[in-house]
Amino acid sequence: MFYYWEKFVDFFVFSLLALDKDAHLTQALHFFIFDTVKILVLLVVIIYLVTFLRSYFPVEKVRDYLSGKHKLIGHIFAAFFGVLTPFCSCSAIPLFLGFLQARIPLGVTFSYLISAPLSDAVVIALLFSLFGIKITLLYMACALLIAIIAGLVIGSLNLEKEILLEVKPASCCSSSSEEDISLKYRVKEAWKDSLDILKKIYLYVFIGIGIGAFIHGYVPSEMIVKYAGGDIWYAPIVAVIMGIPMYSSAAGMLPLIEVLTSKGMLLGTALSFMMAVVALSLPEAMILKRVLSIKLISIFFGIVGMAILLVGFVFNMIL
Protein backbone atom coordinates (compact mmCIF):
# COMPACT_ATOMS: atom_id res chain seq x y z
CA MET A 1 0.00 0.00 0.00
CA PHE A 2 2.83 2.38 0.83
CA TYR A 3 5.34 0.95 -1.68
CA TYR A 4 5.73 4.17 -3.68
CA TRP A 5 5.90 6.31 -0.57
CA GLU A 6 8.73 4.16 0.73
CA LYS A 7 10.54 4.51 -2.61
CA PHE A 8 10.16 8.28 -2.40
CA VAL A 9 11.53 8.33 1.16
CA ASP A 10 14.45 6.18 -0.02
CA PHE A 11 15.16 8.67 -2.81
CA PHE A 12 14.78 11.68 -0.52
CA VAL A 13 17.00 10.38 2.30
CA PHE A 14 19.59 8.34 0.43
CA SER A 15 19.86 10.21 -2.90
CA LEU A 16 18.62 13.76 -2.46
CA LEU A 17 20.11 14.27 0.99
CA ALA A 18 22.96 11.86 0.12
CA LEU A 19 23.09 10.41 3.65
CA ASP A 20 25.00 7.25 4.50
CA LYS A 21 22.55 4.33 4.54
CA ASP A 22 24.34 2.65 7.44
CA ALA A 23 24.48 5.74 9.68
CA HIS A 24 22.33 5.73 12.83
CA LEU A 25 20.91 9.18 12.05
CA THR A 26 19.97 8.11 8.52
CA GLN A 27 18.09 5.04 9.72
CA ALA A 28 16.26 7.07 12.35
CA LEU A 29 15.34 9.83 9.88
CA HIS A 30 14.10 7.36 7.26
CA PHE A 31 12.00 5.56 9.88
CA PHE A 32 10.49 8.80 11.19
CA ILE A 33 9.50 10.21 7.78
CA PHE A 34 8.06 6.97 6.45
CA ASP A 35 6.10 5.90 9.54
CA THR A 36 4.77 9.35 10.45
CA VAL A 37 3.12 9.89 7.08
CA LYS A 38 1.95 6.27 6.90
CA ILE A 39 0.20 6.42 10.28
CA LEU A 40 -1.34 9.85 9.69
CA VAL A 41 -2.74 8.69 6.35
CA LEU A 42 -4.09 5.51 7.93
CA LEU A 43 -5.69 7.56 10.70
CA VAL A 44 -7.57 9.79 8.30
CA VAL A 45 -8.56 7.07 5.80
CA ILE A 46 -9.69 4.40 8.26
CA ILE A 47 -11.53 6.74 10.62
CA TYR A 48 -13.18 8.42 7.63
CA LEU A 49 -14.35 5.08 6.18
CA VAL A 50 -15.62 3.80 9.54
CA THR A 51 -17.48 7.06 10.21
CA PHE A 52 -18.95 7.16 6.70
CA LEU A 53 -20.11 3.54 6.76
CA ARG A 54 -21.48 4.01 10.26
CA SER A 55 -23.98 6.49 8.85
CA TYR A 56 -25.54 3.66 6.82
CA PHE A 57 -25.40 0.88 9.40
CA PRO A 58 -26.81 1.59 12.86
CA VAL A 59 -24.08 0.68 15.33
CA GLU A 60 -26.72 -0.35 17.83
CA LYS A 61 -27.40 -3.42 15.67
CA VAL A 62 -23.73 -4.39 15.74
CA ARG A 63 -23.56 -3.90 19.49
CA ASP A 64 -26.82 -5.79 20.03
CA TYR A 65 -25.56 -8.64 17.83
CA LEU A 66 -22.36 -8.95 19.85
CA SER A 67 -24.29 -8.65 23.11
CA GLY A 68 -26.67 -11.40 22.03
CA LYS A 69 -23.82 -13.83 21.48
CA HIS A 70 -21.54 -15.37 24.06
CA LYS A 71 -19.02 -12.62 24.79
CA LEU A 72 -16.20 -14.91 23.71
CA ILE A 73 -17.45 -14.80 20.09
CA GLY A 74 -16.73 -11.11 19.61
CA HIS A 75 -13.20 -11.50 20.94
CA ILE A 76 -12.52 -14.46 18.66
CA PHE A 77 -13.79 -12.52 15.65
CA ALA A 78 -11.63 -9.52 16.56
CA ALA A 79 -8.51 -11.64 17.12
CA PHE A 80 -8.86 -13.45 13.79
CA PHE A 81 -9.62 -10.16 12.03
CA GLY A 82 -6.24 -9.00 13.30
CA VAL A 83 -4.65 -11.82 11.31
CA LEU A 84 -6.06 -10.25 8.13
CA THR A 85 -4.70 -6.73 8.76
CA PRO A 86 -0.92 -6.40 8.32
CA PHE A 87 -0.46 -3.52 10.78
CA CYS A 88 2.18 -2.74 13.37
CA SER A 89 0.99 -1.59 16.81
CA CYS A 90 0.80 2.10 15.84
CA SER A 91 -0.74 1.42 12.43
CA ALA A 92 -3.47 -0.67 14.10
CA ILE A 93 -4.53 2.30 16.26
CA PRO A 94 -6.61 4.02 13.52
CA LEU A 95 -8.85 0.96 13.18
CA PHE A 96 -8.91 0.61 16.96
CA LEU A 97 -10.19 4.21 17.14
CA GLY A 98 -12.71 3.43 14.43
CA PHE A 99 -14.03 0.55 16.53
CA LEU A 100 -14.29 2.84 19.56
CA GLN A 101 -16.14 5.47 17.53
CA ALA A 102 -18.48 2.74 16.29
CA ARG A 103 -19.11 1.82 19.95
CA ILE A 104 -17.87 -1.74 19.62
CA PRO A 105 -17.32 -3.19 23.15
CA LEU A 106 -14.01 -2.04 24.64
CA GLY A 107 -12.64 -5.52 25.32
CA VAL A 108 -13.32 -6.59 21.73
CA THR A 109 -11.44 -3.58 20.36
CA PHE A 110 -8.45 -4.51 22.53
CA SER A 111 -8.52 -8.08 21.22
CA TYR A 112 -8.06 -6.60 17.75
CA LEU A 113 -5.38 -4.10 18.85
CA ILE A 114 -3.32 -6.92 20.39
CA SER A 115 -3.83 -9.46 17.60
CA ALA A 116 -3.13 -7.21 14.59
CA PRO A 117 0.58 -6.55 15.21
CA LEU A 118 1.29 -10.01 16.62
CA SER A 119 -0.33 -12.34 14.13
CA ASP A 120 -0.79 -10.97 10.62
CA ALA A 121 -0.38 -13.22 7.58
CA VAL A 122 3.07 -11.84 6.71
CA VAL A 123 4.34 -12.90 10.14
CA ILE A 124 2.95 -16.40 9.62
CA ALA A 125 4.79 -16.74 6.31
CA LEU A 126 8.08 -15.42 7.68
CA LEU A 127 7.92 -17.56 10.81
CA PHE A 128 7.32 -20.65 8.71
CA SER A 129 10.26 -19.87 6.42
CA LEU A 130 12.63 -19.20 9.35
CA PHE A 131 11.59 -21.69 12.05
CA GLY A 132 9.24 -24.25 10.48
CA ILE A 133 5.63 -25.29 10.96
CA LYS A 134 5.85 -26.36 14.63
CA ILE A 135 7.14 -23.00 15.89
CA THR A 136 4.73 -21.13 13.62
CA LEU A 137 1.66 -22.97 14.94
CA LEU A 138 2.77 -22.60 18.56
CA TYR A 139 3.42 -18.89 18.10
CA MET A 140 0.07 -18.24 16.37
CA ALA A 141 -1.84 -20.15 19.05
CA CYS A 142 -0.13 -18.11 21.76
CA ALA A 143 -0.66 -14.79 19.95
CA LEU A 144 -4.38 -15.41 19.42
CA LEU A 145 -4.85 -16.65 23.00
CA ILE A 146 -3.14 -13.53 24.35
CA ALA A 147 -5.43 -11.31 22.25
CA ILE A 148 -8.62 -13.13 23.23
CA ILE A 149 -7.89 -13.56 26.94
CA ALA A 150 -6.49 -10.05 27.42
CA GLY A 151 -9.53 -8.59 25.64
CA LEU A 152 -11.89 -10.63 27.84
CA VAL A 153 -10.13 -9.46 31.01
CA ILE A 154 -10.12 -5.79 29.96
CA GLY A 155 -13.75 -6.02 28.89
CA SER A 156 -14.77 -7.47 32.26
CA LEU A 157 -13.27 -4.55 34.21
CA ASN A 158 -15.87 -1.96 33.05
CA LEU A 159 -13.25 0.62 32.04
CA GLU A 160 -15.30 2.51 29.45
CA LYS A 161 -15.01 5.66 31.57
CA GLU A 162 -11.24 5.56 30.97
CA ILE A 163 -11.71 6.41 27.28
CA LEU A 164 -10.68 10.06 26.88
CA LEU A 165 -11.77 10.46 23.29
CA GLU A 166 -15.43 11.42 23.00
CA VAL A 167 -17.41 8.52 21.58
CA LYS A 168 -20.57 9.81 19.97
CA PRO A 169 -23.07 8.68 17.37
CA ALA A 170 -22.33 9.86 13.86
CA SER A 171 -23.91 13.30 13.32
CA CYS A 172 -25.81 12.10 10.31
CA CYS A 173 -27.42 9.30 12.29
CA SER A 174 -29.55 11.73 14.27
CA SER A 175 -32.12 12.02 11.51
CA SER A 176 -35.26 9.95 11.87
CA SER A 177 -35.05 8.71 8.29
CA GLU A 178 -31.79 7.40 6.85
CA GLU A 179 -33.10 7.87 3.30
CA ASP A 180 -33.43 11.64 3.90
CA ILE A 181 -29.68 12.02 4.45
CA SER A 182 -27.80 13.04 1.33
CA LEU A 183 -24.54 11.49 0.24
CA LYS A 184 -22.93 14.94 0.29
CA TYR A 185 -23.91 15.40 3.93
CA ARG A 186 -22.56 11.97 4.91
CA VAL A 187 -19.24 12.71 3.19
CA LYS A 188 -18.98 16.12 4.85
CA GLU A 189 -19.73 14.85 8.36
CA ALA A 190 -17.39 11.86 8.03
CA TRP A 191 -14.57 14.17 6.90
CA LYS A 192 -15.30 16.57 9.77
CA ASP A 193 -15.19 13.79 12.37
CA SER A 194 -11.95 12.42 10.92
CA LEU A 195 -10.20 15.80 11.09
CA ASP A 196 -11.48 16.38 14.64
CA ILE A 197 -9.87 13.15 15.82
CA LEU A 198 -6.67 13.83 13.88
CA LYS A 199 -6.30 17.28 15.48
CA LYS A 200 -6.56 15.72 18.94
CA ILE A 201 -3.85 13.08 18.50
CA TYR A 202 -1.43 14.18 15.74
CA LEU A 203 1.09 15.63 18.21
CA TYR A 204 1.23 12.31 20.06
CA VAL A 205 1.83 10.54 16.74
CA PHE A 206 4.88 12.77 16.10
CA ILE A 207 6.24 12.19 19.62
CA GLY A 208 5.63 8.44 19.57
CA ILE A 209 7.15 7.84 16.15
CA GLY A 210 10.07 10.13 17.05
CA ILE A 211 10.89 7.95 20.06
CA GLY A 212 10.56 4.82 17.95
CA ALA A 213 12.80 6.28 15.23
CA PHE A 214 15.54 7.13 17.72
CA ILE A 215 15.54 3.63 19.21
CA HIS A 216 15.31 2.03 15.76
CA GLY A 217 18.42 3.87 14.62
CA TYR A 218 20.57 3.78 17.74
CA VAL A 219 19.96 0.53 19.68
CA PRO A 220 22.26 -2.29 18.42
CA SER A 221 21.33 -5.98 18.52
CA GLU A 222 24.58 -6.73 20.38
CA MET A 223 23.30 -4.85 23.42
CA ILE A 224 20.10 -6.90 23.44
CA VAL A 225 22.02 -10.18 23.31
CA LYS A 226 24.39 -9.00 26.05
CA TYR A 227 21.64 -8.41 28.60
CA ALA A 228 18.92 -10.86 27.52
CA GLY A 229 20.90 -13.73 25.98
CA GLY A 230 21.97 -17.01 27.49
CA ASP A 231 20.17 -19.75 29.40
CA ILE A 232 19.17 -17.80 32.50
CA TRP A 233 15.68 -17.97 33.99
CA TYR A 234 15.07 -14.21 34.03
CA ALA A 235 16.12 -13.64 30.39
CA PRO A 236 12.49 -13.26 29.14
CA ILE A 237 11.86 -10.60 31.80
CA VAL A 238 14.88 -8.60 30.65
CA ALA A 239 13.86 -9.11 27.01
CA VAL A 240 10.33 -7.78 27.58
CA ILE A 241 11.60 -4.76 29.55
CA MET A 242 14.07 -3.97 26.77
CA GLY A 243 11.46 -4.55 24.05
CA ILE A 244 8.73 -2.24 25.33
CA PRO A 245 10.52 1.07 24.55
CA MET A 246 11.20 -0.08 20.97
CA TYR A 247 8.94 -0.03 17.96
CA SER A 248 8.74 -2.17 14.83
CA SER A 249 6.39 -4.49 12.98
CA ALA A 250 6.61 -8.23 13.57
CA ALA A 251 7.70 -8.71 9.96
CA GLY A 252 10.50 -6.21 10.52
CA MET A 253 11.53 -7.91 13.77
CA LEU A 254 11.74 -11.50 12.54
CA PRO A 255 15.08 -11.10 10.69
CA LEU A 256 16.49 -9.64 13.93
CA ILE A 257 15.06 -12.57 15.89
CA GLU A 258 16.93 -14.94 13.56
CA VAL A 259 20.14 -13.01 14.29
CA LEU A 260 19.54 -12.99 18.05
CA THR A 261 18.88 -16.74 18.21
CA SER A 262 21.99 -17.41 16.11
CA LYS A 263 24.00 -15.44 18.69
CA GLY A 264 22.81 -17.64 21.56
CA MET A 265 19.47 -16.17 22.70
CA LEU A 266 16.86 -18.83 23.51
CA LEU A 267 13.91 -18.85 21.11
CA GLY A 268 11.34 -18.21 23.85
CA THR A 269 13.30 -15.18 25.04
CA ALA A 270 13.68 -13.91 21.48
CA LEU A 271 9.94 -14.29 20.77
CA SER A 272 9.08 -12.55 24.06
CA PHE A 273 11.31 -9.69 22.99
CA MET A 274 9.63 -9.52 19.58
CA MET A 275 6.12 -9.63 21.07
CA ALA A 276 6.96 -6.82 23.49
CA VAL A 277 8.37 -4.68 20.68
CA VAL A 278 5.41 -5.13 18.34
CA ALA A 279 2.49 -5.26 20.81
CA LEU A 280 3.63 -2.99 23.68
CA SER A 281 5.77 -0.31 22.09
CA LEU A 282 6.40 3.01 23.83
CA PRO A 283 5.37 4.93 20.68
CA GLU A 284 2.05 3.08 20.77
CA ALA A 285 1.57 4.13 24.42
CA MET A 286 2.32 7.77 23.53
CA ILE A 287 -0.35 7.79 20.82
CA LEU A 288 -2.89 5.96 23.00
CA LYS A 289 -2.25 8.46 25.81
CA ARG A 290 -4.44 11.01 23.99
CA VAL A 291 -7.23 8.46 23.65
CA LEU A 292 -7.08 6.36 26.83
CA SER A 293 -6.30 7.12 30.46
CA ILE A 294 -2.95 6.19 32.00
CA LYS A 295 -4.83 3.68 34.14
CA LEU A 296 -6.27 1.82 31.15
CA ILE A 297 -2.97 1.89 29.24
CA SER A 298 -1.19 0.51 32.32
CA ILE A 299 -3.75 -2.29 32.68
CA PHE A 300 -3.40 -3.10 28.97
CA PHE A 301 0.40 -3.19 29.14
CA GLY A 302 0.39 -5.15 32.40
CA ILE A 303 -1.96 -7.91 31.23
CA VAL A 304 -0.33 -8.34 27.82
CA GLY A 305 3.17 -8.07 29.31
CA MET A 306 2.51 -10.88 31.78
CA ALA A 307 1.05 -13.05 29.01
CA ILE A 308 4.10 -12.44 26.81
CA LEU A 309 6.41 -13.38 29.69
CA LEU A 310 4.49 -16.62 30.15
CA VAL A 311 4.91 -17.41 26.45
CA GLY A 312 8.67 -16.85 26.73
CA PHE A 313 9.01 -19.16 29.74
CA VAL A 314 6.87 -21.88 28.13
CA PHE A 315 8.80 -21.78 24.83
CA ASN A 316 12.12 -21.94 26.66
CA MET A 317 10.97 -25.00 28.63
CA ILE A 318 9.51 -27.03 25.75
CA LEU A 319 11.92 -26.18 22.92
Per-residue pLDDT of the chain (319 residues; tens, 9 = 90+): 677 888 999 999 999 999 998 888 898 899 889 888 887 787 778 677 766 776 665 555 555 555 556 678 889 988 988 887 766 666 677 778 878 877 788 999 999 999 988 887 767 777 887 788 998 899 999 999 999 999 999 999 999 899 887 655 544 444 444 455 678 888 888 788 778 767 766 776 787 678 767 766 776 667 777 777 777 888 899 889 888 877 776 666 776 787 778 777 888 998 898 888 888 878 788 888 888 999 999 999 999 999 999 999 999 888 7
Domain assignment present for residue 115? The answer is yes
Residues 6+ apart with CB under 8 A from 174: none
pLDDT at 3: 79
CA–CA distance from 234 to each of 8, 142, 146, 279, 291 (Å)?
A: 43, 20, 21, 20, 33
Domain assignment present for residue 266? The answer is yes
Domain assignment present for residue 192? The answer is yes
> What is the domain extent for residue 155?
8-14+21-165+184-318
CA–CA distance from 276 to each of 14, 77, 87, 237 (Å)?
A: 30, 23, 15, 10
Residues 6+ apart with CB under 8 A from 78: 108, 109, 111, 112, 115, 147, 151
Q: Is 163 helix (H, G, I), strand (E, B) or coil?
A: strand
Contact 299, 285 (CB under 8 A): no
Nearest alpha carbon to residue 119 among 82, 150, 152: 82
Radius of gyration, alpha carbons of the chain:
20
Domain assignment present for residue 240? The answer is yes
pLDDT at 111: 93
Domain assignment present for residue 74? The answer is yes
Q: If residue 260 lies in a helix (H) or strand (E), which one and from where to where?
A: helix 250-262
- How many structural domains does the chain have? 1
Contact 114, 147 (CB under 8 A): yes
Nearest alpha carbon to residue 30 among 7, 52, 53: 7
pLDDT at 288: 86
Domain assignment present for residue 106? The answer is yes
pTM score of the predicted model: 0.71
pLDDT at 172: 45
pLDDT at 68: 55
Domain assignment present for residue 260? The answer is yes
Q: Distance between CA 85 and CA 310 in Å, rounded?
A: 25
Q: Distance between CA 168 and CA 189 in Å, rounded?
A: 13
Domain assignment present for residue 265? The answer is yes
